[in-house]
Amino acid sequence: MRRHSRIRTGWAAGAALALALVTGCEGLDGDDEASSSGSAAGAPAEERAAGQAVSPLDNPDGIEPGLAPVTGDTHEATARKLVEGLKTKGRGPKTGYDRDEFGYAWMDTADGVPFARNGCDTRNDLLKRDGEKVRFRSGSDCVIVAMTLDDPYTGTSIEWRKEKASEVQIDHVVPLSYSWQMGSSRWAESKREQLANDPLNLLPVEGRANSAKGDSGPATWLPPSKTIRCAYAVRFAQVADKYELAVTASDRRMMLKQCGG
């Protein structure tokens, strides 16, 4: 029996499983919170984003927060060069895909990626990275119960509370099932675990936008905020390049188009 199957055996079905995938290794907490430093309250969302979000071209490891727009001829040319270097192929079958093939969500033990084995699960690491005015559960410097998120996909500011955990979800920029169809089905399990927990491939975003995306590639889904679309294409390309994943020809064309190609 696979060890991930043993871990998940006994989980409640249906709604409980869906909530577990959204909230990772966290339980639902009450209002017992401790504050951390953050941006001044009341600052406009665009001001906070300008001060916090980082361009993917300046953030090749994914350890800096957010996803700032890629603008200007020079930066767009750099973005196109990255996208043009990606290999293309057709999307294969989804046969055999299961989230368990990429480790349980959100494991802290995926070796080879930033934030691994720091005592805090991947979801909370990402909320801490991108959130502002972060508040932790009392006695914890890991479990986040409230924060402000400047959502890159919609361009809106979300006042998030853990009681409504699904309002912010962690998006896999290159969806795991997409990667499966493009070749990760043949990877070692440890490499799939890296992809699933690599901060380069993870963004906290509005839950509805993440649900709308599903396992789409850029040809069939792009962030609603047009100003971020080139940056999104860059991040998608960075992940594909790092993990030597091909993309579909239509996805590559669309990514180039977002960056002036």
Backbone angles phi, psi at 139, to 5 degrees: 85, 5
Using one digit for the tens of pLDDT, what is the confidence trace for 117-140?
A: 999 999 999 999 999 999 999 999
Using one digit for the tens of pLDDT, what is the confidence trace for 187-243?
A: 999 999 999 999 999 999 999 999 999 999 999 999 999 999 999 999 999 999 999
> What is the bridge-based pairing of β-strands 168-172 and 202-206?
antiparallel
The Cα–Cα gap between 167 and 205 comes to: 8
Which residues contact residue 85 at a Cβ distance below 8 angstroms, ignoring those fewer than 6 apart?
237, 241
Angle between helical axes of 73-84 and 229-242 (0-180°, round to 10):
40
- Sole residue written with tokens 């959204």: 22
Closest by CA to 244, choosing from 181, 183, 171, 165, is 183
To the nearest 10°, report the CA torsion of 222, 177, 166, 130.
Answer: -60
pTM equals 0.82
Query: Distances from the Cα of 208 to the Cαs of 129, 216, 223, in angstroms?
Result: 21, 14, 11
With cut-offs at 50, 70 and 90, classify the pLDDT of residue 257.
very high
